[in-house]
Structure 1
Amino acid sequence: MYTITGRVGTSQTDKHGDMKLISAMDAIQDCSIFWMESEPTFLKYFQENHLGMFLAFRQIDVLKLPKYSESITVSTGIYDCKGPYGYRNTVLYDENQTPCILSWEIGAFVRLETGRMEKIPGDVIKSLIIDPKVPMEYLSRKIILPKEGFEGMPAFSVRRNDIDFNGHMNNVRYLEAAFEFLPDDFNVTRISTEYKNPALYGNSLYPKLCKEDACIYLLLEDQNSRPYTIMKIE
């Protein structure tokens, strides 16, 4: 497992002094990318062949959130890698090493010039450290949407600050935008997200929201109803 440590600051906390879920997701995302530095053969292959690793799916289970000034640890590791996909767990712990957020992700290996997925050679895959799969409930990567009941929400545009070094809207920024449409008293315990098409600077996103039982389904689409992301929030 690759690990980073930190401390919860004021910019990362909400009005109750709890770490914002978005800030926790930023830490999880950072750890996932820094992991590349711990796998020199894998990193070298990506650099020499102009490949990127783009998120295709993520599930996060929120058990608790750390408090202001608390030390945190984030650990990530690959538990499987096959074809054009890598499968990883990332876990955020509090200062007592109690799990706060459990997650699993699917990353797609993509050639940057073409945007096409690409398989990784076997010798490069064999060079990876494969960690045990973290015990958690693993849902299907395919989110089944309600057939009706979606309501259009106000559109918004991708800002300059939303763009990461891949030139796309950073995956956590989709969640940050989605949270603005949740009821104030909605307690998030789980989020599943399919990432379908990358949004670019200046693109307009058109949200559609549906409440069903205790779940909220949210689509972020383009003007032609093609989804950028599909979310199920519990």
Structure 2
Amino acid sequence: MYEMKRTVNCSQIGSHGIIRNSCLVDLLQDCSVIHLDTHPVMSPFFEKENCVMFLVSRQLDIVRRPEQNEKLTVKTWTYELKRMYGYRNTVIYDENGDICVKSIASGAFMDKTSQRPIKVPQELVDRVKLYPKLDMEYLPRKIALPDTEPQVYEDIPVLKCYIDMNEHVNNARYLDITDEFVENESAVKRIRVEYKNPLKRGKAIKTLVYTDEGRKFVELCDENNKPYCITEYDYRS
């Protein structure tokens, strides 16, 4: 388990004084990455074997959006680990210890050079301490798109500022892209993201937007409709 302290600052606040969805993911992501980078079992293995854990899916349940100058505690822990996949909870708490955001993330072990999935030794898996699963609704990793006709937007550019140290779009930056295609994105109660293929600079994105019963779905694809990422915005209480 790992925890970090943060204060919500002006750079994380968007329109109407509300924290951006991508900044919530930044908080969750930073906590998770620091946990992995300092983990006594996983960190030495990653360095020795030239591998990494790539995010496959994320679910955020937003109980309350933190406000500017709020002091937060972000905690993360692994609740399940297999030879190819890992599953974790990360939670954002306010100063009173009340939950602002609950989240689930699943990741796959990948070789850095080949960008192919790998299996880690069972002996390594057995050494990692697991913690109880957070009490929340666990939805499937894969997002099913509604059977409706989408709105289509062509040739959305991938900007340099979206790219991270892995030379593809950072997980949080996908929300900076998809938020542009939904109304009142700060009113969303739940966000699910399925990461399918890495999106790199120089690509043009075809964006498909679906609407269905209080939800919006934004699918980012290449010119042949091969998906990079699907994001679901759920406005229902």
TM-score over 0.5 for the pair: yes
Matched, 1:203 2:187: no
CA separation in 1, counterparts of 2:116 and 2:185? 41
- Deviation string for 1:110-158 (max 9, x for gaps)? 0011111111112211221211101100011121111232110243221
Alignment of 1:89-168 (within 5 A): 89-168=89-168
TM-score by length of 1: 0.95
Alignment of 1:148-227 (within 5 A): 148-184=148-184, 187-227=187-227
| Aligned partner of residue 26 in structure 1, secondary structure | helix
Partner of 2:5 in structure 1? 5
CA separation in 1, counterparts of 2:148 and 2:24? 32
Aligned residue identity for 2:14: D
CA separation in 1, counterparts of 2:46 and 2:184? 42
1:63 CA displacement: 0.7
- Gapped regions of structure 1 (runs ≥ 5): none
Q: Contact 1:141–1:194 at 8 Å: present in 2 too?
A: yes
Matched, 1:229 2:229: yes
TM-score by length of 2: 0.94
Percent same amino acid among aligned pairs?
Answer: 36
- Deviation string for 1:46-95 (max 9, x for gaps)? 11111011111111111111111110111111000112100000111111
CA separation in 2, counterparts of 1:185 and 1:143? 19
Moved more, 18-27 or 173-182: 18-27
CA RMSD of aligned residues (A): 1.4
1:41 CA displacement: 2.3
CA separation in 1, counterparts of 2:146 and 2:24? 29
Partner of 1:22 in structure 2? 22
Partner of 1:69 in structure 2? 69
- Gapped regions of structure 2 (runs ≥ 5): none
CA separation in 1, counterparts of 2:83 and 2:233? 29
CA separation in 1, counterparts of 2:179 and 2:15? 16
Aligned residue identity for 2:87: Y
| Aligned partner of residue 180 in structure 1, secondary structure | helix
Moved more, 39-48 or 182-191: 182-191
Q: Contact 1:163–1:170 at 8 Å: present in 2 too?
A: yes
CA separation in 2, counterparts of 1:51 and 1:75? 24
Aligned residue identity for 2:200: L
1:178 CA displacement: 0.4
Moved more, 48-57 or 180-189: 180-189
Q: Contact 1:110–1:116 at 8 Å: present in 2 too?
A: yes
Q: Contact 2:148–2:211 at 8 Å: present in 1 too?
A: no
Aligned residue identity for 2:81: C
For this pair of structures, how many residues does the alignment match? 234
1:192 CA displacement: 1.1
1:186 CA displacement: 6.4
